[in-house]
Structure 1
């Protein structure tokens, strides 16, 4: 009986540990830094979907301009939804070597969606996030929390 309980416990631990071991290096919480002001704006949590793509959701706004802001300018399914909890990164695909592309990023204060790419830098402690329209791109460096 003791051996059976040990095997069940070991199997349960393995089932919990394996997804954590295979998590993408970009997953986790990131402090976003405004590229113009240099001020911290929010905390974004990046997670990996079953298909391997990454999504990012704002889990905390730092010093919002108004209480409980919504995405008034959004034109998609996020229109008038609360910004806290909002998915702003969608469909980001790992390209290898700490680089990601093929996804989009929403800038909630503008309501605009940009083609996006990301790259882990500084040994994975920072994430360079770029949003592009045509050939014009802006980037921010986010800090791992």
Structure 2
């Protein structure tokens, strides 16, 4: 009987370990640099095995800022509203990370950056944009 009990405990512990793997998909909150003031909600999702993200809501902004358009974009997103715009486009999974070239759009300047995305933990997403050897990492919190 003890053998069965230990086997069940072992089986449950393996199942919980395997189940720990979280998805990057979901709604994430972004924050103003160096503050805990929320800036936006971002929906991160996969489509055809690639990773995408779009802004779904702005906070703490004037109506003009909330209704801003991508004036400096040079592709199909030119003059399109930033809310609802796909700004993370087609990252490919490599182990526990998602990466790609020219996949992160900054709607403020219309430039695209190489990107890398990974989970720090189940509620913290790291989003890194590269320009050559230089990079900047932003951390987003999973929305409850």
Q: Which of the five TM-score ranges fits, normalised by the shorter chain?
A: 0.7 to 0.9
Which whole-Å CA distance do the structure 1 matches of 2:80 and 2:36 have between them? 26
Matched positions, count: 119
Unaligned 5+ runs, structure 1: 1-23
Corresponding residue number in structure 1 for 2:86: 87
Deviations 1:91-138 (Å, cap 9, x if unpaired)? 1111123x111151111122221111011012x211010111110101
Cα RMSD (Å): 1.7
**Equivalent of residue 142 in structure 2, options 134, 141, 144:** 144
Corresponding residue number in structure 2 for 1:58: 55
Q: Deviating runs (4+, > 3 A) in structure 1? A: 34-39
* TM-score (norm: length of structure 1): 0.75
Shift of 1:36: 5.2
Structure label with greater radius of gyration: 2
Q: Where do 1:7-86 residues align within 5 Å?
A: 25-35=23-33, 39-50=37-48, 52-65=49-62, 66=64, 67-86=66-85
Shift of 1:35: 3.4
* TM-score (norm: length of structure 2): 0.75
Question: Is the counterpart of residue 101 in structure 1 residue 99 in structure 2?
Answer: yes
Shift of 1:87: 0.3
Unaligned 5+ runs, structure 2: 1-21
Shift of 1:34: 3.3
Which whole-Å CA distance do the structure 1 matches of 2:61 and 2:109 have between them? 15
